[in-house]
A and B are shown apart, each in its own frame.
Chain A
Amino acid sequence: MRRTLPLAICLGMGIVMMCQFFIPHPVSVSFYDLTTKWIRIVSAFALVLGVGSLILYHIDRLQRKRTGWGYSIVTLVALVITALIGLIWGVKPGSPLQEVLFKNILVPLNSSMFAILAFYMASAAYRAFRARTKEAALLLIAAFVVMIGMVPVGAAIWGKLPELAEWVLSVPNMAAKRGILFGVALGAIATSLKVILGIERGWLGGGKG
């Protein structure tokens, strides 16, 4: 029963949601809206489990004095302060949660992480564009053409360079991209079908077959 019920729900809902895609009737649309609301409710309950896991994980780190245990104190204190501010002043625009924590701490931190990406890209590009093989040399040339073609200096060097860059992006690059996307789409459909039919049960925490 522990396995059969979730599998039966999955099969039923899988088929219903598949049919829903082809039915524009308001009954079908409102059913879809209802299920998306259920997902939000389930997520809210799962968040309790998630936060519980986070607290237990960091308490365990503190108790065992694992490497970097000081960061666990920061995490737990931040968690408590954020929760308290949210509970006392709410989450409306203008509240300390929005003004202090979100605008002045979270957004700058996120921006910093995103900015770091530029440096990672530079180092990754350096490694990727070393012309050690024929394929890598081809990649280097293509990347060089695209990068130069996308900036004003490219057009100044040779007027046709932006067009060439556009061609590389929209023809060979797009062909490869579409090839991958076909595989992805079919893979996603096959996986969905396996899940719906109960052939793939890994998501249940169970075995296969």
Chain B
Amino acid sequence: MSILLAILVNQVSLIVIRAFDTPNDGGKSITIQFDVPSQLPTDVLILERTEEGGEPAIIATLNPNETSYIDEGVVDTKRYQYRFASVKGTDTLWSETTGWVKSSPQFFNWARVNILVAMLIFFALVIYFIEHAKAGRHLFVRRIAGLDAVEEAVGRATEMGKPIVYVPGLGSVADIATIASLNILGEVAKKTAQYDSALLVPNRDPIVYTVAREVVKEAYTKAGRPDAFKPDNIFYVTSEQFAYAAAVDGLMVREKPATNFFLGTFWAESLILAETGATTGAIQIAGTDSVFQLPFFITACDYTLIGEELYAASAYLSREPLLLGSLKGQDFGKLLIMVIIIIGSALLLLSKIPTLKFFSQIINFFNVS
């Protein structure tokens, strides 16, 4: 026992404890960091908190290998002190008590400053190219086969006298892919109005349904065919995922559409929809931002818009200079990311050389909290 006590007494000065307001948070939290020497025999660590004007209380029991604890049971206006003890059998060795500390909410999350920088650079790129387009300069956009086929697909439906089924995905209106899909729906609806084809839009989300109906109505009005707009062709089905898939499958089997569009957010039902559509003999154009559903669409559909092509579609179809400008900004954003990846990879490789070890810190800047 005396030997143990001697060890404990000798090591006490080596125990470090630090308490501070947790950074980048909404308050009500204090972080306590401690460093227990590995030589110190310890079964458990106990953490004690003292509120200003209050009694000390044990708030946590920790493993000896832990080095920090976040106390989320504090009040922002009050001050607290902490100390912890190393417990070995019946022996308890207390650390020194920290100074008074209080928590407060922060107005800026500095751990996300990297996102802010990236966002500002990207916004600047997009706005620059929009201004570039406004000035009337030509912007080259590569061909996207799936979007070139839209005209042909609508024309085919007209020739065959069969309807077009447009599925705006299963996502809500809060999903960007759904917004992109609704933008494409406007362009497709304009073409169906011009060609006088029937356009069926089954919806899974009631808000998407109301927006889709307005989008199609507006497109028909713009195309000079408001009389051809049939509000019943844009309808709500159900919000149940597989019930929706079954309903759309039934619709495709009964109506035998000439063309199916599956554009937006999709989950496990993507292949059920695409395979059923393929068996009915329809031309199928699909697009999603989900990397998990893309292989299914590529396999079962004639054309697939992969990832960003879905977002580019409305600009591509409308050829509006302002939208094309933003598309160009997007491309340069990707170029920038590629350059950063190449340079970053090279520097990280160089960091393996001992004298250039500091390059390994680069990766920290890209960590997102």
Which A residues are within 8 Å of any B CB, using their own CB? 18, 21-26, 28-29, 39, 42-43, 46-51, 53-54, 56-57, 60, 67-68, 71, 106, 109-110, 113-114, 116-117, 120-121, 123-125, 127-128, 177, 180-184, 186-195, 199-200, 202-209
Contact = CB atoms under 8 A, between A and B. Distances in A.
B4 interface: no
A156 to B, nearest CB: 28
B312 interface: yes
B159 to A, nearest CB: 21
A209 B183 CA distance: 13
A193 B126 contact: yes
A42 to B, nearest CB: 7
Contact of B294 (A56, A180, A182): A180
Contact of B26 (A21, A24, A48, A120): A24
Given A67-B255, A109-B242, A114-B242, A182 B337 contact: yes
Interface stretch (B49-57, B84-92, B141-149, B318-326): B318-326
A204 B310 CA distance: 19
A53 B235 contact: yes
A112 B77 CA distance: 56
18 contacts: A22-B109, A24-B105, A25-B27, A28-B26, A49-B209, A50-B205, A53-B235, A60-B232, A110-B241, A113-B242, A113-B246, A187-B312, A188-B176, A188-B311, A189-B333, A190-B311, A191-B179, A205-B214
Contact of A187 (B105, B119, B272, B307): B307
Interface stretch (B33-41, B66-74, B215-223, B358-366): B215-223
B236 interface: yes
Contacts of B234: 53
Contact of B308 (A21, A114, A186): A186
A32 to B, nearest CB: 11
Q: Which 9 pairs show the lowest CB-CB distances between chains A and B?
A: A205-B214, A187-B311, A50-B206, A183-B308, A202-B183, A50-B236, A113-B242, A46-B206, A187-B308
Contacts of B307: 180-181, 183-184, 187
B306 A180 contact: yes
Nearest to B173: A203
Interface size of B as a range: 35 or more
Contact of B275 (A67, A120, A187): A120
Contacts of A23: 107-109
A114 B268 CA distance: 8
Contacts of A205: 186, 211, 214-215, 217-218
B291 A177 contact: yes
Contacts of B320: 208-209
Given A53-B234, A113-B246, 13 more contacts: A21-B112, A54-B238, A68-B250, A109-B242, A110-B243, A180-B294, A186-B122, A191-B180, A191-B311, A207-B186, A207-B218, A207-B222, A209-B322
Interface of B: 24-27, 105-109, 112, 115-116, 119, 122-123, 126, 130, 172-174, 176-177, 179-180, 182-183, 185-186, 203, 205-207, 209-211, 214-215, 217-218, 222, 232, 234-238, 240-243, 245-246, 250, 254-255, 268-269, 271-272, 275, 289, 291, 294-296, 298-300, 306-308, 310-312, 314, 318, 320, 322-323, 326-327, 329-330, 333-334, 337
Nearest to B104: A25
Contacts of B268: 114, 117
Contacts of B105: 24-26
A202 B242 contact: no
A26 B28 CA distance: 10
Nearest to A177: B291
Contacts of B246: 109, 113
Contact of B211 (A106, A113, A203): A203
Interface centre among A53, A110, A114, A181 (most CB of B within 10 A): A53
A203 B182 contact: yes
Given A120-B271, A124-B299, A190-B326, A25 B26 contact: yes
A22 B246 CA distance: 42
Contact of B116 (A22, A68, A117, A184): A22
Contacts of A191: 176, 179-180, 311
B93 to A, nearest CB: 37
Contact of B214 (A116, A121, A204): A204
